[in-house]
Amino acid sequence: MTATRLAVLGLSGRMGQAILGQLRDFPGVTLSGALASPTSRYLGQDAGEAFGHSTRGAVVVSDPAAAIRGANVAIDFTLPEATPANLAACVATGCPLVIGTTGHSAEVRAEIDAAARRIPVLLAPNMSLGVNLLLKLADLAARALDTDYDIEIYEAHHRHKKDAPSGTALRIGEVVAAARGTTLAESGDFVRHGLTGARRAGTIGFSVMRGGDVVVDHVLTFAGPGERIELTHRAHDRSGFARGALKAATWIVGRHAGLYSMQDVLGLESL
């Protein structure tokens, strides 16, 4: 098995720190590089020493090209506007990239697609193994239940999250819309205020909560005649997302160029 030399882009953020904390359970993975913002106080420091972990040998830098030097895979948990530079650095060296950042514009999504024609790219709005299983269950349920069952997607995050609905909630919406032969653009219902009238059949409703230190909750509801089915995922902390990202990083090393998802990692794409 190929040894995994990992660069973490966005090391000082919540997910970067969670990944660093989970490395002890992935003995085949070595931290080879670490990226932080140009204003980070950790620049020039050893990543492990800076954050109180046993991992040693990777210096925190602000240049993506320097961060991935020596890596054979990178995980990106920076900001949407940083993705193009991270992609360019990875394409230049042929380094596979796992992207967990959400909130990309259509232009950046096009850049991700273009990069995936040259290197392996895994894009997932949520790295949790449980959430990605929920996506498969959502697909199965939406195919089995007709429009007599109204679909609602609820999500909750901490007060600091900047985009809404979450990338995961939108992905759930895309999955159930496709399963019913439509698109989220056609059937998504994101705004309810005032005298809205009766619900239009086939719509996919969204509700969002932001507050406190909530890690993340997602609830998919199929509300039908006389019954309600709910698929729920609640994260107790960020370790599940970090473990999923590390699993994705070890999986993508050695793959052909292409755009992959966590469904591929779990072997669920063909089910």
Pairing of strands 216-224, 227-235: antiparallel
Q: Is 160 a catalytic residue?
A: no
Rounded to whole angstroms, what are the CA distances from 156 to 79, 123, 166, 175? 20, 22, 9, 19
Q: Is 158 a catalytic residue?
A: no
- In sequence order, the 6+-apart residues with CB closer than 8 A to the CB of 180 are 142, 143, 147, 187, 202
Q: Of the residues 104, 158, 161, 236, which is catalytic?
A: 161
Long-range CB pairs of 203-207 (<8 Å, 24+ gap) are 203/150, 203/151, 204/151, 204/152, 204/153, 204/173, 204/176, 204/177, 205/150, 205/151, 205/152, 205/153, 206/152, 206/153, 206/154, 206/155, 206/165, 206/169, 206/173, 207/152, 207/153, 207/154, 207/155
Q: Of the residues 157, 218, 233, 247, which is catalytic?
A: 157
Which residues have a catalytic role annotated? 157, 161
